[in-house]
Copies of this chain bind each other. A is one copy, B any other.
Amino acid sequence: MAQPDTARLLIACDDQPGIVAAVAGVLADHGANIVSLDQHSTDSEGGRFFQRTVLHLDGLAAARTALEESLTEVADRFGMEWSLHDASRRKRVAIFVSKYDHCLLELLWRAQRGQLDIDVTMVVSNHPDLAESVRSFGVPFVHIPGTDKSEMERRQLELLQGNVDLVVLARYMQILTDDFLTSLEAPVINIHHSFLPAFIGANPYARAKERGVKLIGATAHYATADLDEGPIIEQDVTRVTHAESAAQLQSRGMDVERLVLARAVQWHAEDRVIVHGRSTVIL
């Protein structure tokens, strides 16, 4: 998985002719080889352009500043938002959890096995229950209890600011405030235990049972102040029958939650996700 001298370039801007050529020209001028390129334009009026480019450049560290200068020039010309990510620098991730361990352990396990390209730098919880499980992976577990949300969030921000590139809510049963999300200055991925927008809110499995649905699902999305309304990264479902109780639906759903969250975090780790309004582009 180690990819020395490899970078990922993400671009978003208004659609207009010549973008691919201009960017590819800059890369060629700097001696970079394009390993892969995915591009998408929305087809509506005043379309939007998105591009992910994986490039290989010998001596990336030394050449990066010059490359960024050239990219800045092109970006200014086309009005681009852009970011350049060193593929050898894994994202530092904090996982928030309450008492459910299935999503947490799935992430820790995949990271340990090399199936998830992140560094889990800490696990934060409002309950002490999972300390031992977490520490057995060699990962710090920080218990921040309390009922005063603003005090809890203050302590969380002290831990996180500057130290993490991503926060993952792995069934963290608390709502984060708008202030927290703004102050964090890092994206937050949440797993919701239903196929959104069905069963927004609490107790989705009980409500799925009550409504008699034939499939249950899970949704990974970027957390926003508007609960359960953030841009969806990944979803999946599994078939259920009338013979399964609400408790069994929950157990079945936990398997979907684990895999959906793991995929969403991996795609984010690979710089594949660009937010576009209330939705995402996965490149």
Contacts and interface: CB of A to CB of B under 8 A. Distances in A.
Interface of A: 16-22, 24-25, 27-28, 31-41, 43, 101-102, 105, 109, 113, 115, 136, 195-199, 209-215, 217, 231-232, 234-237, 241-243, 245, 251, 254-255, 259, 276-282
B232 A214 contact: yes
B34 A39 contact: yes
Contacts of A242: 40, 276, 279-282
B31 A20 contact: no
Main secondary structure of the interface of A (DSSP, over half): mixed
Nearest to A37: B39
Contacts of A105: 109
Contacts of A281: 242
Contacts of A37: 20, 37-39
A223 to B, nearest CB: 15
B215 A279 contact: no
B34 A40 contact: no
Number of copies: 4
A127 B231 CA distance: 40
Given A105-B109, A196-B198, A217-B215, A36 B39 contact: yes
13 contacts: A20-B24, A21-B28, A21-B34, A36-B39, A36-B40, A38-B39, A101-B113, A105-B109, A196-B211, A197-B198, A197-B199, A212-B276, A241-B282
Contact of A213 (B25, B27, B215, B235): B235
Contacts of A215: 195, 217, 235-237
